[in-house]
Chains A and B, each alone.
Chain A
Amino acid sequence: MSVIIILLIVSILIAGGFLIGFLWSVKDGQFDDQQSPAQRMLFDNELKINQTNLKNTK
């Protein structure tokens, strides 16, 4: 069952990669603000399109 070792190594590598990613993201200030990102993604800064006439009507 030595393949388990391979899988463990690979899994730990991935998990470790995610951990580094997480630490990086925290240090980078990714999660300092947990309010505005959720709001900001609703606005697209598109010019030239009139949002209002895209609404669905029956």
Chain B
Amino acid sequence: MSLDKFYYDNKLPKFFAIACIFWGAVGMLLGVIAAFQLAFPVLNFSEYFPHLAFGRLRPVHTNAVIFAFVGNGIFTGVYYAIPRLLKTPMWSKKLGNIHFWGWQFIIVCAAVSLLMGFTTGKEYAELEWPIDILITLIWVVFGINMFATIITRRERHLYVAIWFFIASWVTVAMLHIVNSFEIPVSFMKSYSWYAGVQDALVQWWYGHNAVAFFLTTPYLGLMYYFLPKAANRPVYSYRLSIVHFWSLIFLYIWAGPHHLLYTALPDWAQSLGTAFSIMLILPSWGGMLNGLFTLRGAWDKVREDPVLKFFVVAVTCYGMSTFEGPMLSLKNVNAISHYSDWTVAHVHIGALGWNGFLTFGMMYWLIPKLFKTKLYSVKLAATHFWIGTLGILLYAIPMYWSAFRSYFMMKAFTPEGQLQYTFIDIVQTVTPFYIIRAVGGTIFLIGVFIMIYNLIKTAKQGSFLATEEAEAPALEKEYRAPSNSIWHSFIERKPILLLVLSLVVVGIGGVIELVPTFLVKENIPTIASVKPYTPLELQGRDIYIREGCYNCHSQMIRPFRYEVKRYGEYSKAGEFVYDHPFQWGSKRTGPDLAREGINQPSVAWHFDHMMEPTLTSPGSVMPSYPSLYENDIDVASTNSKIHAMRKMGVPYPDGYEAEANNDLMKQAETIANELRTGKKVKIASNKEIIAMIAYLKRLGTDINLEKK
């Protein structure tokens, strides 16, 4: 048997590693700033930079951490591990470079556009359509490179880590395409094709699977490569890894609706989500135990080796959050956790503990390898480990605490049957917890900077190994297939690439054909009194989306006594049929706004409140929005917005595009007049605040009309 000689490229793993750490630091820094903003609203600097207000910053933080930090982390591992596992270099250096620079370009576009207020308003899928298309292209480039490498491999067996990478690639492609189905209104503005309940379902189907197939399965792949490597012992049970892989990916897809318990989503869909979520404990814990047991008999090493320390905590956090997740999917637990800081704590156990620590461990192992040297300082790495762990605890504990405090306050009634606490009472109670949480995040970030210093020193003391020479026998061309049917040899020769591509093709085709048909029909209102938004309200709604109000406010009242009493009649599915996109939100830093039009009908109140929330609500942590009083409503866009809505079946009259702005002006003038006479303020009727007030006044009022 002859040996092939070939070279592993280390440049791309190095690039990806640098990008991962850099964006990680940036993303976490933004998180820390956002955390402090929640305690000290002056930090929104609203008067100077409307771009930095919490509602815009938080999506940049979440997107940066998920797609920039973890994304580049995945690619680092993939570009390092796959060639070594398959005994072949990556198929194409050029595609690799396109992938790298394309992804970084996407990240920069994402950050800039989100800060500028270009957003779809769908959590973790905020990026506008041109960027969505770019993501798709780069993802395909990555896929081609990965699958071509797999096909040209010199090792017949695909190690379990590679299975995880494959499944992640396929599913993320599918999720991204289905959820990004939107109708462009202009360059950088689009409306989701889906409305209301449907949009919510698609979004959380995507949202949960983004957690599953972006934050979890690829990282399990990394775990299965780097943990055995670092411990220098084989994985505890290879059989278990395979079993848990196939069961995990199969179950995960169905869990999305657990984000919508007690909402207007049909009950059976909620139950489906709950059932699969609970089943998920098994494969998840299979992975965790397999990781931890790999270290059996090596615990003495764990005490010394910082890499293993990070891995142990990462895998433990994985186990904790995958236990917590199914628990949060139980309806009675979810009643407490949903909209609360509990969810925030839960995702940070995952993000800081699992993704963060696994990445750090990987870097401490990988960078010395790439630079042919030892880690500069094991001691500093150990310091990082302890600081990071402390940061996680200081982050999570206050969040759990605040979740329970606010839950009990939220549902406290006086003996007379009145709510005991106002919302602002609750805000003031949890603010100190927010401060501790922000400090926890800061400490975690300090750890990251210690790591950066340590890794730079490590790189400096070594010399970079750009390519590594390796050799392996070529793969025997002939693998004797048990049968020689056409079907079999067909699969045999083009194993996965074809399968995957056809899946994507079928998926895209199916979606493009099905979605419009399904959805237009769906827009027939089930509640007769629910009408489309007026042009002014629609413009206001787009400002609401642009400013990211959904990052603090929900618009979905659950059928509990304490919610109905506080916010009004619980929300019905039929109320959202014109909501492209839905704005139910996932977190209540501020009160629910689903019936704001009934709860706070005063235009004057909103006028003061948006200018400076503490004027009307002392102790509020909501940012002020002075820019809305200066910016003009973008009337030029009204026409195309109405047109897009009509295309999706929203029943504006024929030819309404041309008249819309007249109606808009009229309604704006009415509101401005009310302010001029009632409040004696001078405000031009074409300012954005007028549209915003019009939208807030409309919220939840349609159903009230019906009752009268």
List residues of chain B with CB under 8 Å of any chain A CB: 8, 84-85, 87, 155-160, 163, 166-167, 170-171, 174, 178, 194, 197-198, 201-202, 205, 225, 228-229, 232-235, 238-239, 242, 246, 249-250, 253-254, 266, 269, 304-305, 368-369, 372, 374-375, 378, 465, 468-472, 479, 482, 488, 491-492, 495-496, 499-500, 503, 506-507, 510-511, 514-515, 518-519, 521-522, 573
A14 touches B201 (CB 8 A): no
B522 touches A56 (CB 8 A): no
Q: 29 interchain pairs (CB within 8 A)?
A: A2-B519, A2-B522, A4-B201, A5-B514, A7-B201, A10-B507, A11-B253, A11-B254, A13-B507, A13-B510, A14-B253, A21-B496, A22-B246, A25-B158, A28-B492, A30-B158, A34-B242, A35-B238, A38-B228, A38-B234, A41-B84, A41-B85, A41-B159, A41-B234, A44-B470, A48-B469, A54-B372, A56-B304, A56-B305
A10 touches B174 (CB 8 A): yes
* A49 and B225 alpha carbons, distance in the complex (Å): 20
A1 touches B496 (CB 8 A): no
Ranked 5 nearest A-B pairs via Cβ: A38-B234, A3-B198, A38-B238, A2-B518, A11-B253
Q: Is the interface of B mostly helix, strand, loop or mixed?
A: helix
* A10 and B256 alpha carbons, distance in the complex (Å): 13
CB-CB under 8 A from B205, the residues of chain A are: 7, 11
A4-B201, A6-B202 given; 17 more Cβ-contact pairs under 8 Å: A3-B522, A6-B178, A10-B174, A11-B205, A11-B254, A20-B499, A38-B235, A40-B155, A40-B157, A41-B225, A47-B470, A47-B471, A48-B469, A49-B372, A54-B374, A55-B374, A58-B378
CB-CB under 8 A from A7, the residues of chain B are: 178, 201-202, 205
* A40 and B374 alpha carbons, distance in the complex (Å): 24
Interface residues on A, range: 35 or more
* A50 and B602 alpha carbons, distance in the complex (Å): 76
B521 touches A2 (CB 8 A): yes
List residues of chain A with CB under 8 Å of any chain B CB: 1-7, 9-11, 13-15, 17-18, 20-22, 24-25, 27-31, 33-35, 37-42, 44-49, 54-58
Known contacts A1-B266, A49-B372: A10-B157 contact under CB 8 Å: no
Question: Within the complex, what minimum Cβ distance (angstroms) separates A14 from chain B?
Answer: 6
From B158, B198, B479, B500, A1 is in contact (CB under 8 Å) with: B198
B84 touches A3 (CB 8 A): no
CB-CB under 8 A from A20, the residues of chain B are: 499
Closest B residue to A9 by CB, please name it: B510
From A28, A45, A49, A56, B378 is in contact (CB under 8 Å) with: A56
A15 touches B250 (CB 8 A): yes
From B159, B375, B472, B573, A56 is in contact (CB under 8 Å) with: B375
* A29 and B157 alpha carbons, distance in the complex (Å): 8
A45 touches B472 (CB 8 A): yes
From B249, B269, B368, B378, A18 is in contact (CB under 8 Å) with: B249
* A16 and B563 alpha carbons, distance in the complex (Å): 41
CB-CB under 8 A from B519, the residues of chain A are: 2-3
B197 touches A1 (CB 8 A): yes
Closest A residue to B472 by CB, please name it: A45
Closest A residue to B173 by CB, please name it: A14
Question: Within the complex, what minimum Cβ distance (angstroms) separates A39 from chain B?
Answer: 5
CB-CB under 8 A from B491, the residues of chain A are: 24
Question: Within the complex, what minimum Cβ distance (angstroms) separates A40 from chain B?
Answer: 8
Closest B residue to A35 by CB, please name it: B238
Question: Within the complex, what minimum Cβ distance (angstroms) separates B32 from chain A?
Answer: 31
Closest A residue to B368 by CB, please name it: A54
Residue of A11, A40, A47, A54 with most partner-chain B CB within 10 A: A11
A37 touches B378 (CB 8 A): no
From A6, A17, A40, A49, B468 is in contact (CB under 8 Å) with: A49
Closest B residue to A32 by CB, please name it: B157
* A57 and B488 alpha carbons, distance in the complex (Å): 53
* A56 and B492 alpha carbons, distance in the complex (Å): 44
Closest A residue to B6 by CB, please name it: A45
* A39 and B690 alpha carbons, distance in the complex (Å): 68
Question: Within the complex, what minimum Cβ distance (angstroms) separates B238 from chain A?
Answer: 4
Question: Within the complex, what minimum Cβ distance (angstroms) separates B373 from chain A?
Answer: 8
Closest B residue to A39 by CB, please name it: B234
Closest B residue to A36 by CB, please name it: B157
